[in-house]
Amino acid sequence: MKKLKFLNVCYDTKHIDNKFSEYFSSYINNFFTYEHKDELIELINTKDIHFVVTRYDFELLKTIRRLNKQIQIIAILDEYNHTHLLESLELKYVKFIQNLECINIFIDALKDCVKNLDSNKSNIMDLGNDFIYDNYNKCLFKNNIVISLTNKELLFLDFLLKNHNCSLSYEDINTNVWSGAMTHDSLRSLVKELRKKTYKELIKNVSGIGYRIDIQI
Mean pLDDT computed over 21-35: 78
Q: Is 140 inside any structural domain? A: no
How far is residue 125's CA from residue 51's CA, in Å, rounded to a whole number? 21
Q: Is 128 inside any structural domain? A: no
CB 216 within 8 A of CB 121: no
Provide the domain limits for residue 207.
148-212
The tens digit of pLDDT for each residue in 12-21 reads 888 776 666 7
Q: Looking at residue 117, what is its pLDDT?
A: 80
Comparing CA positions, the residue from 189, 171, 217, 174 lying closest to residue 203 is 189
Residues 69, 70, 72, 75, Cα dihedral to 10° = 10
Q: Looking at residue 18, what is its pLDDT?
A: 66
Mean pLDDT computed over 28-42: 89
Q: Is 141 inside any structural domain? A: no
Question: Nearest 5 degrees, angle CA 127-CA 135-CA 124?
Answer: 55
| Residue 84 burial (CB count, 10 A) | 18
How far is residue 151's CA from residue 58's CA, in Å, rounded to a whole number? 28
pTM higher than 0.75 for the full model?
A: yes
- What is the number of structural domains in the chain? 2
Comparing CA positions, the residue from 44, 119, 56, 120 lying closest to residue 91 is 56
Percent residues over pLDDT 70 in the chain = 92
How far is residue 146's CA from residue 88's CA, in Å, rounded to a whole number? 12
CB 1 within 8 A of CB 110: yes
How far is residue 55's CA from residue 82's CA, in Å, rounded to a whole number? 18
R_g (Cα) of the chain, nearest Å: 19
Same domain, 11 and 103: yes
Contacts of 159 (CB under 8 A, 6+ apart): 168, 173, 176, 177
Under the banding of pLDDT at 50, 70 and 90, the label for residue 73 is very high
Same domain, 105 and 16: yes
Same domain, 71 and 176: no
Q: Is 142 inside any structural domain? A: no
The tens digit of pLDDT for each residue in 88-146 reads 999 999 999 886 666 777 778 888 888 878 777 889 999 999 999 999 999 999 999 99
Same domain, 8 and 109: yes
CATH code of the domain covering residue 32: 3.40.50.2300
Q: Mean pLDDT over all residues of the chain?
A: 89
Mean pLDDT computed over 168-192: 96
Is residue 1 scored above 60 in pLDDT?
no
Write the DSSP assignment of 78-93 as a string of letters.
S---HHHHHHHHHH-S
Same domain, 16 and 104: yes
